[in-house]
Structure 1
Amino acid sequence: MPTLTIYDAVGAALTEEMRRDHNVIAFGEGIATKRHELVDEFGALRIRNTPLAEGIIAGTAVGAAAMGLRPVVDLLFAPFLCYAMDELVNSAGKLRYLSGGQFTFPLVTLAMTGAGWGVGAQHNHNVEAWFVHSPGLKVVMPSTPADTKALLKTAIRDDNPVLFFLDIGLLYQPGEVPAGEHLLPLGQAAIVREGRDVTLVSYGKTVHHCQQAAEQLASHGIAAEVIDLRSLKPLDEATILGSVKKTGRLVVVHEANRLCGVGAEIAALVAEHAFADLKAPIVRLGGPDAPAAASYPLEQASVPSAEAIADAARRLCST
């Protein structure tokens, strides 16, 4: 299998989908500059740079989707989505419902998120839970190049708007990607490591921290099961519940602010549907309720580490 980074996987998915469907277009902040190979193949009408005006970019994409195109827009950093909330939440997320299903809105919005580059609070803010909470939107945040390519291809073909978050810390990490046509359905989590004693649920870069924690736990005789959500909405409830009913213990991990985060929803899900199977309280590990630091060491300190995850799991398994 070829080896790609997540950045390259995005380019490969765009290339394949633009070849497959002439209605797929891509525009946004610097996308034609960063991906000149797409301009060379598809021309300036189908891939183009835009002004730094996120609301206009998203609004244009909503209109294009309503008229039958399949736009992919790059808004660079996740906090910039603040400028496009009305277009994405009030228009893209609601107009299919408001039209009684007469219109579709096949729109993908790319945004980089998370710690890794020390870009400061106005460029580093994990906002995925905002959009999970918004009706009509789907939300994806993969952790590997293979999943990135497969899920982006699926998102482009979806008739609903999809927020596609790329973890900055993983953007240039290489990984094997299947050659040829390969898609994954939205809403299907991956069990990346099987175990019997405790379930670790995560997405984005903290999936890899969970895998490292599982290695540490194995040396103590604790078998941790690691679940990569991949898709936050739709959420693979069956895989989460099946794992917790097997292990009886749950640690939910994400880099985003712990308060009202995706982990809170997963904790509520398990408390409602698998409470009788729990052998210990649910633990949530997340970032602090504070803006991200521009200092690289401080930025990294806000992300749950493999050691912190392993410590939490050990405490659960000792009860």
Structure 2
Amino acid sequence: MNTSKERAAALRARLNDLKLPEPPPSSEELGRASVQAMLADAGLKPREVDPRLDVRLHGQAISGHEVPVRQASSILSSLQEVVSACGQAVGRKITAAGSMPGAILRATELRMSPALGFGSVVFHLGGASEVVTGDEFPGTTGTETLLDRVFSELFEVLDFVAESQTPDSEAVDHLRKLGPRFAKHLNDLAKEVMDSEIDIDLAWKSSSSSTKSTLKRPGALALKDAIERNREEVTRENFRGVLSTVSTLVRPQLLMPDNRRIDMTVDAQVAANLGMYYNREVAVEVEQRRLWSIATERETLSYKLIHIELVDPELGP
């Protein structure tokens, strides 16, 4: 028969192997979990989770449960712009300039109801719910919404700087994929965190997603640095088209099959030999320079001609 010490050791070993769920972070979450459990025990369909972003502000500037209005409004306004810009990017509706599509604004709009916490202030920001038409197949409600994708992408960027404070190439790729408008507003949010000395904890919950992240001053500094250092990207690209302009005064222009026109800078020694390519189909190698403007939210592309050759040289000059 096992002794009491052996039984206790065996019990501890079993407990160590168990994967227990994380405890609810608040009494409100505990109450919600209890209601869901009671509904499940009664054989009823669990209640849908209202989409919500919890924004907890804390740090040196937070005294008790008060936050200066200017700082809070600036942070929440910047956060809303980041969310909408990210929604525009993941929805593949990026515009070079101008206003954001109304559908994106509606789908990413957050609505505020504040709550107080010891040593912090928490804002509950309700998000757009999934549209239910009544024609869904059973079990298909609670599907991923645009905001679910937004916070997945946004938190991935924030997690990179929170962990290492030195964004790697993957983080930079995320920034570039989400576009200059997103980078501009994320830069504004990082600046607010640094200037106000307020840290932000973010937690997103919906019927199909639950995720969280944080943005503190060291991470905000790293984020601003990453955005600033990677506003310019230089790559080598290859294009085909018709060389439609050859001049000593005007930049050579390539007319693409899709009717785009690419103006190229060119060195003097290359320019002197462009006459033979005029109005001919050519293949070119260019140095493409992509530049973000944090001020205007725009992206500009410029090209330098590196190499040019005829697509069909057998036709002669």
**TM-score by shorter chain over 0.5:** no
More strand by share: 2
Q: TM-score, normalised by structure 1?
A: 0.21
Which has the higher Rg, Structure 1 or Structure 2? Answer: 2
Q: TM-score, normalised by structure 2?
A: 0.21
